[in-house]
Chains A and B, each alone.
Chain A
Amino acid sequence: MALKTAQEYLDTVKKLSPRVYCGGKWVKNLLTNKITRSMVTANAQMYALAEDPQHKNVMVATSHLTGEPINRNLNVARSIHDLDMRQEMALLTSQTVGTCNYRCVGCDALNSLAATTWEMDRDLGTKYNERFNKWLAFAQANDLAVSGAITDAKGDRKKRPSQQEEPDTYIHLVEKREDGIVVRGIKVSQSGAIGSHETLVLPGGALREGEEAFALAFAVQNGAPGLTYICQYNAYSAERELCDEEAELGNPLYGQRETSTMVFDNVFIPWERVFLCGETKYCGRMVTRFAKAHRMNCGGACKVGFADLIIGATLLAAEYIGVDKVSHIQEKIIDMVRLSETSHACAIAAAMRGREEPKGSGVFLPDDLFGNAAKLNIADGFWEIIKNAGDIGGGLVVTAPKLKDLENPEVGPMLKKAFSAAAPAEKRLRVAKFIQHWSAGLHGPGTWHGAGAPQTQRFMI
């Protein structure tokens, strides 16, 4: 079975019991907790999209290891076409769920691993690529949801990993054993790790000689004892947790974007899952290759999918109050489209100008310049887009009452009188809540920092 259905994925999640802490409580069941369920539901949609014949070209690829059809989230790009379909997948998944494709970081991590382990085996005579391919074939055959963990907690930024007072601010080696390694440390801002079967862990940045203990790349089973996930918690988490009806929320089914702090407390990783251990020279390349892929996808295409949703909602909001034909409104909508499609154009260019890296590996990575330009453009552009959405959406975006209040016999008629315009009050409130989800939510800073803060793209350019 190379492709799981959404239901089959959900059936596995019923049995997954990672140690998850959310909003002051231990989560016993990912599917009954409202916050974690939104993440799992979004992930299930990634499986559902691959089942849909309409999206097969984008969502399904052919494994270069087995020749079997696989979910593109587990594909190693082997051509320009693969890169193009990868960025199209980022667009499609964002348009569909309005939140993370939680398999996206894992996908870009495995592409970096495919390239870099091949290079290490060539240069050093190691067996990392062989190991990695076995892991990948297993993940593909079982259509595993794989997340990616890159960002270490990092501690005092003036200090190198080995100089930190608290060594756990970086993932590091505790013990080398005959059958594997034991690791500990903290990765932060991990999108969707809680509802994934496995996580690919990469070094957080370039490392120097003497920092071998921090030079680690591996795959970990997400239910492994010693791993704890502490979920993000914010106003949107509280709103979801406390609301009596999730239909009231801006993105009822799929939520904002759920991340967690991932704590490794002496976790055993068998050698079969270790893809780099001590080779500091290759850490920078591994992270750069990940970033290259992720900036095209997360920066250039994913956020364009979000922008499409925002632009559509903004147009609706304008239509609902009868201003959609007003010239300055149309100008602002055009600006939103310009900003968004410029990034998409850069993502397409990054794919089209992609190339085999390293030569002979068979792995294709996007063009660095266009990928970084895509991310940098959307980092600024996204704020402009949500600014215009808030502008055109009007004060109602932040002043709207509860949707259910419309049904209240005492205040409902007053609210309907107040908010009915060119469309009924209910439609206006729903679209206002949706725009609030974006313009007053987590996605502005999320877009800024996701795939690296803009300073990193400036550095690369």
Chain B
Amino acid sequence: MVASENDPGLEIIAVRIENEVRGTYEGLGGTFASFVYCCLDKKVLPGFHEAGFIAEAELKDGGLLLTLSGKHNALKLIEVMDIALLNIGALPKAGGKAEWFIEVKLSKKED
């Protein structure tokens, strides 16, 4: 019983939409860093390959602030984030204290 006794090496990521936590996800350590690299450096949301889908992304207060292009309601954004996080190795997990958060903002722009 080596791996998970004391430090299982996992991290929890919370997704906030309109200032409300809409989902928590568990991944191996480094999952948030992977997600941030995709959004900031590659400017691609995991699982969504079309360029320009990320309108804005910035690190703020230890979390990631994300604005997606197009008009989406909160429900659609949850769906999108569910896919994006799965594609980077984070799975839905209820409860637990989130080490990281991703704040997804509704885009005001039409495109």
Contacts and interface: CB of A to CB of B under 8 A. Distances in A.
Interface stretch (A132-140, A342-350, A413-421, A427-435): A132-140
A22 to B, nearest CB: 14
A78 interface: no
A323 interface: no
A15 B27 CA distance: 16
Nearest to A179: B33
Contact of A225 (B8, B10, B29, B44): B44
A17 B48 contact: yes
A142 B26 CA distance: 11
B87 A224 contact: yes
B47 A270 contact: no
A271 B11 CA distance: 14
Contact of A17 (B8, B29, B49): B49
Contacts of B42: 225-226, 266
Contacts of B75: none
Interface size class of B (residues with CB under 8 A): 20 to 34
Interface in A228-285: 266, 268-273
Of B2, B28, B41, B87, most A-chain CB atoms within 10 Å = B28
B65 interface: no
Nearest to B86: A15
A135 to B, nearest CB: 6
A11 B41 CA distance: 30
Given A138-B28, A268-B34, A270-B31, A224 B88 contact: yes
A19 interface: yes
Interface in B39-95: 41-42, 44-49, 82-83, 86-89, 91
Contact of A270 (B8, B29, B83): B29
A142 B28 CA distance: 11
Interface in B1-46: 1-4, 7-10, 27-31, 33-34, 37-38, 41-42, 44-46
23 contacts: A12-B86, A15-B47, A15-B82, A15-B83, A15-B86, A16-B87, A19-B49, A65-B2, A65-B3, A65-B4, A66-B3, A133-B3, A134-B29, A137-B3, A137-B4, A138-B10, A138-B28, A179-B30, A198-B89, A223-B88, A225-B45, A266-B41, A273-B28
Given A134-B7, A179-B33, A180-B30, 11 more contacts: A26-B49, A66-B1, A66-B4, A67-B1, A134-B10, A221-B87, A225-B44, A266-B42, A269-B34, A272-B29, A273-B28
Interface of A: 12, 15-19, 26, 64-67, 131, 133-138, 141-142, 179-180, 197-198, 221-226, 266, 268-273
